[in-house]
Amino acid sequence: MKKANSIRNEIDYWKSLIQKVQDTTDLASLDDESLREELEKEILVIEGEIGQREFATMLSGKYDTDDAILAIHAGAGGTDSQDWTEMLMRMYLRWAETHSYETEVMDMTLGEEAGVKSVTISVKGRYAFGYLRSEKGVHRLVRLSPFDSAHRRHTSFSLVEVLPQIAFDNPEIQIEPGDIKIDVYKSSGAGGQNVQKNATAIRITHIPSGLVVTCQNERSQTQNRENAMKVLLGRLLEIQHAEKSEEIAVLRGEYTKAEWGSQIRSYVLHPYQIVKDHRTDYEVGNAQAVLNGELDKFMETYLRQGVQEFKTGT
């Protein structure tokens, strides 16, 4: 049903666009000068929609149309990195909001002083994974630290993970009941009335790989278990694909081990403002706009470069 609805929506969209082009063509054929302004506006709208559809053709990966799981983890930098992780969380939530994606915080661990140690967010909507997969990697922030009494410049790092939300019956990933250990515990909260009195938080350990996944957002133990399994399935699928990619890269003599310091993007707020993607060299000077969720150009540039590299074989 999900596939059928997706295909139906795609067909309905193209029918609507074709009708819009036909209506505009009919108006233009009247050769009425008074309609020129209206026609020019309509043509711009149509060109914009065609550009979006052209871009969507680059999102043709197996899971690109699926929902996504976005996880952000504080790295080197102490309290600054935890604050940076919270800033990234806000940035992606803003981006999702502008695209009318449904978001839900599945799990979050707060920092001791400020910010967030780690957060896992469900992002639901067509092409959510296709867009967000361009954000996977280490993100670096340079700024005057608000947590340093001397107000010195600090560098902070956070790691962004992006996983597809795959179905539990996906044939690529098989989890045997004996391969997982499930622990139930009380969720941590803000205190007072928010203290969780029942044990609803879930910790799942995948014994063969050693992966540990937690979920404590929902008050329902069943919902937390389901969300934790979604994250586990996504991570196991990512590991499986990474192992295949490494094997291919080694055979081609191209494999380079990914290191923590190899950031994909830098956000500099002092002594000047700039956000630069190190994979594509695309950069903008309005860092605040980017932190407010204006990420589309970074995603588009990265995805277009990937298509070009595929075409040329580089």
User: What pLDDT, on the 0 to 100 scale, is given for residue 261?
Assistant: 59
Q: In which element (H, E) is residue 142 found?
A: strand 137-144
Distance CA 303, CA 280 (A): 10
Render each residue's pLDDT in the chain as its tens digit; 314 residues. 877 887 888 899 889 999 999 999 998 998 888 889 999 999 999 998 888 777 777 787 888 988 999 999 998 778 999 999 999 999 999 999 999 999 999 899 898 888 999 999 999 998 899 999 999 999 999 999 988 878 888 899 999 999 998 877 777 788 888 899 999 887 765 443 444 456 788 999 999 988 999 888 766 888 888 889 999 999 898 888 877 766 665 555 544 444 455 789 999 998 899 999 999 999 999 999 999 999 999 999 998 887 666 555 55
- pTM for the whole thing? 0.77
Distance CA 224, CA 40 (A): 51
User: What pLDDT, on the 0 to 100 scale, is given for residue 255?
Assistant: 45
Sheet containing strand 180-186, edge to edge, reads: 180-186, 199-206, 211-215
Q: Which two tokens stand for residue 221?
A: 């133990």
Helix or strand or coil: residue 136?
Answer: coil
| Peptide bond connecting 177 to the previous residue in cis, omega within 30 degrees of 0 | no
User: What pLDDT, on the 0 to 100 scale, is given for residue 167?
Assistant: 75
